[in-house]
Structure 1
Amino acid sequence: MFRLLAAFIGLFLACSPAFAKDAGAERGLDAILAAGVLKVGSTGDYRPFTFKDPASGAFSGFDIDLAQNLADALGVKLEIVPTSWPTLAADFEAGKFDVAMGGVSVTLDRQKRGLFSIPYMREGKTPIARCGDKGKFDTLAGIDKPDVTVIANPGGTNEKFDRAHLKQARIVVFPDNTKIFDEVAAGHADLMITDASETRFQEKLHRGVLCAVHPDKPFDFAEKAYWLQSDIGLKGFVDQWLHQSIETGAYQKVYDKWFE
């Protein structure tokens, strides 16, 4: 009877989705070390966190530098795996990469699919608009009007925020996140709502044209972290590496390069 029960429990666990995913997972700390390669998924369209050069295909950015630091700490090579915001979750679940890096926000939906490192940046959604219109869009009530056009990149937390909070404003989804702020600057949209860090960066790139609206007091609370495959060993290593990077100043050095 005991053997039959044990066999039944074993069969149940083996057939359950959660167990099957862990048992069949090819990407984890041991696998990374054995293969000698850390695969990092990144969208390449979210400056200054990640950017893919359209000519060379090379990636650069804040999180790309940190990805290289992580690979160095592991003693393995870094391989950047291109992905996109609309396909990020599917690519993650397909095991195309070990970790997603590039301004990825912590969400409960993503938490269901994997693990997050300790957070490395506090965030929140805030508007960016042409400087002359900055005062019009400091509240959601001021934005949510029928004559206001809000632009968003597809599939990420920006579009989700807009659709959850704006019921009257016109929401336009623009497919190229590398050129989306030029659309606001050109007057094709009134504003974009995105992470405060990105509004600060884009304000510098479009100095005198685009202005971040209260980036120190965003509409909501969010954090950025690294999205990891469900391997506790990998999470433990990344957490400790990130903690030491912050405490030793290595993180700040990379931060100053891209944000100051």
Structure 2
Amino acid sequence: MNISTLRLSRAPMRIIIATAVACGSLAIQAGAHAEVQVGNTWQKVRETGVLRCGAGITPPYVTRDAKTQQYGGLFTELCRGFARDVLHVKPEFVDTSWPNMIAGVQSNKWDLAMSLSYTEERAKAIKFSAPVVYSSVTFVYNKNNPKLKTPPKTVEDLDKPDLSVAVMSGSIADKAVGAGMKTTNVMRLPGTDETRLALMSKRTDFMADDSATNLIVVAAHPETLSVFQPKPELVPQPACFGMNKAISDADIDVLNKYIEEQRKNGSIDKLTKQAVDATVASDK
């Protein structure tokens, strides 16, 4: 599997990932935003003048520059565009961890949770937007690991007591590994940076994460790392925005209309490519 196979919808859509380029901000094409009747949530946001977006780092969907601490990535730019072009307010990014993402939506600490995978369990607690992208759980490993005499072909090849896998605590990958792997040692860490460092420092044998995140890691270190994608796909999930249960259907429709506009005008493709290129460049 190569980095051009990231899916942006149920129909296959190829993203041709160029070599790393300088990180820059790609403005979302505003397009023509028709006036839509909205409910109480967006009205309250307009009254405060700020759209709060819960940010858990998940490249290329949500990123943060190590030097400037500025947020970037596909969902970040969509949040900026929705705030600016539709609600006419300022975006505010609230740093959080994945175990706290749902609770933050429920307690109204942020208006939108970015890059949240839809599950039936989560849908009992919060509401979701239309899917922005689709992905699944994959595994990255060191090709020179002496424990791995041959590349893995099935998840069972990874499920051995002498192997370990690093996951981001509370993520879909964490739940998939916990449910499907019975003997592997699971290393639960706070975020993507920590799981990647555990793999690169050889403290773990595998890193389980979102397919797009893992493809970025491999693209930055093609000489040593490889990615294993189970067949059939492991926990294929749509990545969406998450919102409080109290939000009206009319307000969700406003956000969904914006997402669809960005898909049709090509912004989702462009923003994803830019985020991947910038992340790969920062890792080199």
Q: Structure 1-normalised TM-score?
A: 0.82
Counterpart secondary structure, 1:234: helix
- Cα distance in 2 for partners of 1:215, 1:53 equals 31
Counterpart secondary structure, 2:60: coil
Quote the residue 2:62 is aligned against: 50
The answer to whether the Cα contact below 8 Å between 2:129 and 2:242 also exists between their aligned partners in 1 is yes
Counterpart secondary structure, 1:226: strand
Q: Which amino acid aligns with 1:100?
A: A
The answer to whether the Cα contact below 8 Å between 1:228 and 1:234 also exists between their aligned partners in 2 is no
Is 2:216 the partner of 1:204? no
Q: How does 1:121-132 map to 2 (within 5 A)?
A: 121-132=133-144
- Cα distance in 2 for partners of 1:138, 1:163 equals 19
Which stretch of the first structure deviates more once superposed, 175-184 or 133-142? 133-142
Higher relative contact order (CA 8 A, sep 6+): 2
The answer to whether the Cα contact below 8 Å between 1:73 and 1:241 also exists between their aligned partners in 2 is no
Quote the residue 1:96 is aligned against: 109
Unmatched runs of 5 consecutive residues or more in structure 1: 1-25
Q: Structure 2-normalised TM-score?
A: 0.76
Deviations 1:165-221 (A, max 9, x none): 111111111234313212212211110121111111111122312211137863232
The answer to whether the Cα contact below 8 Å between 1:124 and 1:221 also exists between their aligned partners in 2 is yes
The answer to whether the Cα contact below 8 Å between 2:141 and 2:205 also exists between their aligned partners in 1 is yes
| 1:117 Cα deviation after fit | 0.9
- Cα distance in 1 for partners of 2:40, 2:65 equals 27
Q: How does 1:108-257 map to 2 (within 5 A)?
A: 108-132=120-144, 135-214=150-229, 218-230=233-245, 231=247, 232-257=249-274
Unmatched runs of 5 consecutive residues or more in structure 2: 1-38, 278-284
Deviations 1:87-125 (A, max 9, x none): 112111110111111x32111222112211111211111
The answer to whether the Cα contact below 8 Å between 1:118 and 1:239 also exists between their aligned partners in 2 is yes
Q: Which amino acid aligns with 2:136?
A: G
| 1:235 Cα deviation after fit | 0.8
Larger radius of gyration: 1
Q: Which amino acid aligns with 1:244?
A: E
- Cα distance in 2 for partners of 1:221, 1:176 equals 20
Deviations 1:3-51 (A, max 9, x none): xxxxxxxxxxxxxxxxxxxxxxx971211122221111111x3222222
Bigger share in helix:
1
Counterpart secondary structure, 2:116: coil
The answer to whether the Cα contact below 8 Å between 2:98 and 2:169 also exists between their aligned partners in 1 is yes
| 1:163 Cα deviation after fit | 0.8
Aligned length: 233
- Cα distance in 2 for partners of 1:250, 1:239 equals 15
The answer to whether the Cα contact below 8 Å between 1:28 and 1:233 also exists between their aligned partners in 2 is no
Quote the residue 1:73 is aligned against: 85
Q: Which amino acid aligns with 1:145?
A: K
Q: Which amino acid aligns with 2:195?
A: I
